[in-house]
Amino acid sequence: MSKISAVFRPMRPSDAEVIAGLDREIFGSSIGKDALINEIRLNPLAHYFVLQEQETLEILGHIGLWIDEENAQILNFYVKPPQQGKGYGKLIIESTIEYLYLHGVKNATLEVRPSNKTAFALYTKYGFKVVTTRDNYYDNGEEAYLMLKKL
């Protein structure tokens, strides 16, 4: 793995345009810049982060969660395509798990496509387990795995 000099920090309103662009590039859609800013500013459940390269300030990745007392839901998670496969995904998940521990979260859930082998392998590595499947979850009719990690 290449040397990592990146910081995991809360997302700021000034990141929203970049994040909305990456959402669209990676998933084909985004809630959009304004909705992201509203989430950060107004939604007490929203805990959004970015991974940022320390020298170039490039946004390398993003994770968005809702935390409601002991329950956290991972809504959005990715590493920018040219930066994938360098360990940044692991860094984001490790940083997130540490954050969840500090917040007293007991259960963390997420949905993932069974065909997304990279994400599935990553989640499994960090202790997420398949609880059930959700039929017709994605636009193309693909089912989702609901995965849970007990902290």
Ligand X SMILES: CC(C)(COP(=O)(O)OP(=O)(O)OC[C@H]1O[C@@H](n2cnc3c(N)ncnc32)[C@H](O)[C@@H]1OP(=O)(O)O)[C@@H](O)C(=O)NCCC(=O)NCCS
The yes or no reply on residue 73 touching ligand X (CB under 6 A) is no
Task: Measure the CA–CA gap between 5 and 81, rounded to whole angstroms.
Answer: 18
Q: Which residues contact 140 (CB under 8 A, 6 or more apart)?
A: none
Strands (E), 69-120: 71-79, 107-112
Number of other residues whose CB lies within 10 A of the CB of residue 120: 17
The yes or no reply on residue 4 touching ligand X (CB under 6 A) is no
Q: For 37, which DSSP code? A: H
The yes or no reply on residue 50 touching ligand X (CB under 6 A) is no
The yes or no reply on residue 134 touching ligand X (CB under 6 A) is no
Among 8, 48, 49, 77, binds ligand X (CB under 6 A): 77
Q: How far is the CB of 83 from ligand X (least distance, A)?
A: 7
The yes or no reply on residue 32 touching ligand X (CB under 6 A) is no
Q: How far is the CB of 105 from ligand X (least distance, A)?
A: 18
Residue closer to ligand X, measured from CB, 1 or 42: 1
